[in-house]
Structure 1
C-alpha cells in the first residue's frame, strides 16, 4: 500500500485536484484552462475549510476519472491513495458509506482501463475502513470489477475466507444472497472451478425459503443454471439442490418442469429413466447444450452407485450389465471408472461374478441421509457404551480377584 506523508492537512488533496484539472484542460490553452483550474482548486479548498469531505471526495474522484487514461499507473495509484484517505475524515458512519459509494462506483466505471490496478485501489480502500458494511460494499464492487475487467484470479483466493468475512460484516440474508451470486459469477469465468461455482450458486439458492414467495421467482433462472451445471459437470456426482424451495418451484413451472424432472432423474433414478426422458425431451437437452453421450456416461456411474446402495454389499455382474445397459465384457470397465471417480470402494470377485462393496457415495444428502446418519451414530454410541461397560465390569472383577489373592497371601503369612 502506498503511504502519503503530507506536509499539511490540505496539501495532498489540493495537489491532486490541481494535477487532475491541469491534465483535463491541457489541450484547451492557458486562457481557457487557468480559470477552470482555479475554480476547481477554489471549490476544493472551500470544502476542506468547511469540512465537507464527501463533496471533496466527489470532486476529486470525478476529476481523476476524467483523465485516468492519461495517467501512468504510478500516478493513478498515488492519486487514488490520497482520495481514499478521505474516508478517515468522514463526519459520520453515513458519510463513510456515501463516500465509499462515490469513490468505488467511479473506480469500477472503466474496468478495461488498468483493471488490476483498480482492483488494488479497491483493496487499499477496504483496508482503510473500520465500518463493516462499508467494507462489504467495497468487496462487492471488487467482484464486479474482477469479472468485467477479466482479473478474477486476484479475488478468487479470498473466497476461502468468506465465512469469516460474513461474521465481520454481519450482513442480512438479502446481502448474503447478492454476495453468493456474485462469487458464483466470478468462479464461472474459470472452467476449472465449476465445482466451487456450483457450491456458491447452491448457497445463493439456499437463502430462499417458501416464505419468500414474492422474491422466489427471481431465483428461477439461477436455479435452472445450477441444475444444468450439475448435469454437465463430469466430475460432480452429488448435490443438495432437489429439496431447495428455489429449485422445487421449477417442478410446477410450465417452461422449466423438464429441468426439474432431469435433476430428479440424476439424483434419484437410473439410466432407464434418463433414456425415457431423452426420448420425450430431446429438444430440451439440446436447448441447454447437454450432450447425450456425456449424460449417459454420468447416469451409468450414478446408476452403479444406486445399485451399490441398494444391494446388501454385493452386486451381481448381471445386475450391472442390465442396469447400465452395457455389454458383459464392459462391466468391469465401468466398475473401475466408478472406483476412479471415488464413488465406490469395492472388490471384484471374478470367480463368482459379483462386486463386494465396502463404501459408496450418496447422490444427495437430504432428510433421508441425515436420518440414516443419525441411526448409525446412535448405534455406534450404544456399541461404544457397551464396550466401556464391559471394560469397567472386567476391571472391577480383576480388582476384586487381586484383592482376594492379597488377603489370602496375608492370611498365609499369619499362619506361618
Structure 2
C-alpha cells in the first residue's frame, strides 16, 4: 500500500465544499447550464467572498446549507472533513482583524443554531462539531459561554449527556474562574451543567456531581432579592431531595442559606425543609417518626423507600448525639435510635465504616468514647466559633513564645547553659580569636573588646533583629533566616569593620578582610580598647 501526499491550500479546501454544495443544489440539472443555476451562483458567491477575505459571507453561505451535507454525505470521513473546514472558517473569522466582537458572536450563534437544529443519526457528529467550535473560539469567553450553553442543551435533547459529563465536571470550575463570569452567568452555567450530569450514567460524573453543582449555584443566591430566591424554589427542594436520596451524603452546608431557608414557610415544600432540619439537628429518631406521621406525603415526594430514609435518619441522629458528648452509654444510644440491645454496636460500626465517626467501643462497660466527628452542617455560627477558637490559639502561641524568650534571656544572665541558638555568639568569638592570633594580638584583648561591643548576655540574633527588622525580641524566623547576614561594628575612632559570612553547624563563618581592614582592626580598635 502506497501513500500519496497532495499539497492543497486553504482556498482550495473551502471551494471544494462550495462546489460540492452547489452540485447538490443543482441536482440532476445539465452541467452545460450551470452558469445560470442556483448551484453555480452559490459557488461564485463563495469564491468571490473568499478572494476578498470576507469570511462572514463564506461562513453564512456554508451554514445556510449545512443540513445538505448531513443528508447527502453517506461517508463519515467526508462529513468529518467538511465539518472541520467549516470550523476552520469560523476560526479564521475570529483571527481576522476586521471582525468585530458582535460579528463573531452573531456568526457563532448561526453555526450553533444550524448544528443543533436536528437530533438525527448524525447527533454525535453535530456534538463533536460544536465542541470543535467551542475550542476554536478560545480567548473569547463570552462567546464560548454561549456555545457551551448550546452544547449542554443539545447533549440533553439528543441523549448524549454521558459524552459531555466528565468534561464538564473536570473543567467547569476553571472555566468559571478564567472567564471571570458574573454571578448570574455562574448560576446559569452551574444549573445547565447540573442538568447534563443528572442525565449521565457514568460513575465518575453522575447525579451526585449534579447535586454538588446545584448546591454551589444555590450558594450564590445569598442576599439575593425575593424574586430571585422565588425562582429557585424548585431547585432548592431538588437539592434537599437529593441529599435525602443519596446514601453517601451526610453533610449539608446550606441549611441556613437564603435559597433553602425560604422553604421553611413554603406551603408546598415546608414539610420537606422540616424533614431536612430534623435529620441534621435532631439527636432522636422519635422526632423523625413524629414528623413522618404528621406529613406522610413528604416521603412520597422524595421517592425514597421509607426504610432507607429512616436508616439515614438514624445515622444522622447518632452523629448528633455523639457531637454533644465525649462518651456515650449503650443505653442512651438505644433509646435515642429506638434500637434493640444487640443492634447498638452494629449502628456504631456502620457510622464508623462510612468514616462519619471515630470512636472506641468498651463492651465490658457498655460505653463508647468519641474521638472525632465531623459537622453535618456548617453555618455562620460555626464559622464564628471557629474564628474565635483560632484567635484564642494564636494568642496562646504568642504568649508561650514570649514566656520562652524571657526565660531564655533570664537563664543566660544567671549563667545557665546557653541554648543551641546562642552558640552563634561563641562561634563568632572563636573566629575573632583566630584572627587575633593570626595578626599577633593577644586573645584576651579581642575577647574583652568583642564582649564590650556585643554584650555578654545578649544573643547575636537579638542585635541583628534590633538593627534590621525592628523586633523587640528575637523570633524563630530570624534565627532561621539570618544565617547569612552582614554585621557592622562601629569602632572607637570612627573606623568600621565589616563581617560578612555564612553561619554553619560545622564551625565558624568564613570571611574575607582586605588589608586596610586588617590594619584598621589591629592599629585602632584593639590598641585603643586594650
TM-score range, shorter chain: 0.7 to 0.9
Alignment partners' CA distance in 2, 1:68 and 1:337: 56
Residue 393 of structure 1: CA displacement? 3.3
Residue 216 in structure 1 maps to residue 218 in structure 2 = no
**1:257 and 1:33, CA in 2 relative to 1: closer, same or farther beyond 3 A?**
farther
Structure 1 residue 316 displacement after superposition: 1.2
Shift of 1:401: 4.5
1:141 matches 2:150: yes
**Equivalent runs, 1:5-44 vs 2, <5 Å:** 7=9, 10-23=11-24, 26=27, 28=28, 30=30, 35-44=37-46
Equivalence for 1:414: none
For residues 273-313 of structure 1, the C-alpha deviation after alignment (integer angstroms, 9 at most, x for no partner) is 211111122123224312110111101100011001111x1
Residue 67 of structure 1 is matched in structure 2 by 69
Instruction: Tell whether 2:99 aligns with 1:85.
Output: no
Q: Structure 2 unaligned runs (5+)?
A: 1-5, 419-425, 427-443, 445-530
Partner residue in 2 for 1:128: 136
Select the residue among 116, 123, 127 that pairs with 1:119. Answer: 127
Please say if residues 143 and 155 of structure 1, whose CA atoms lie closer than 8 Å, have aligned partners that are also in contact: no
What is the count of residue pairs matched by the alignment?
401
Q: Aligned with 1:227: secondary structure? A: helix
Q: What's the TM-score, normalizing by structure 1?
A: 0.87
1:245 and 2:258 are equivalent in the alignment: yes
Q: Which protein has the larger Cα radius of gyration, Structure 1 or Structure 2?
A: 2
In structure 2, what is the Cα distance between the partners aligned to 1:25 and 1:284? 64
Query: What is residue 94 of structure 1 aligned with on the other side?
Result: 102
Is the 1:181–1:201 Cα contact (8 Å) retained in structure 2? yes
Say which is worse superposed, 119-128 or 175-184, in terms of deviation. 119-128
- Structure 1: tracts of 5 or more residues without a match: 411-416
Larger RCO, structure (CA 8 Å, separation 6 or more): 1
Using structure 2 for the length normalisation, give the TM-score: 0.69
Measure how far apart 1:23 and its partner are.
4.2
Query: Is contact 1:47–1:53 with CA below 8 Å preserved after alignment?
Result: yes
CA deviations 1:136-183 (Å, max 9, x no partner) are 222222322333332424442343332321232222222111100011
Deviates most, 371-380 or 390-399: 390-399
SS in 2 for 1:110: coil
Alpha-carbon deviation of 1:25? Answer: 5.5
* Alignment partner, residue 165 of structure 1: 175
Partner of 1:352: 365
Is the Cα–Cα contact under 8 Å of residues 358 and 373 in structure 2 kept in the other structure?
Answer: yes
**1:230 to 2:239 alignment:** no
Q: Could you tell me how far apart the structure 2 residues matched to 1:308 and 1:342 are? A: 14
* Partner Cα separation in structure 1 for residue 349 and residue 21 of structure 2: 66
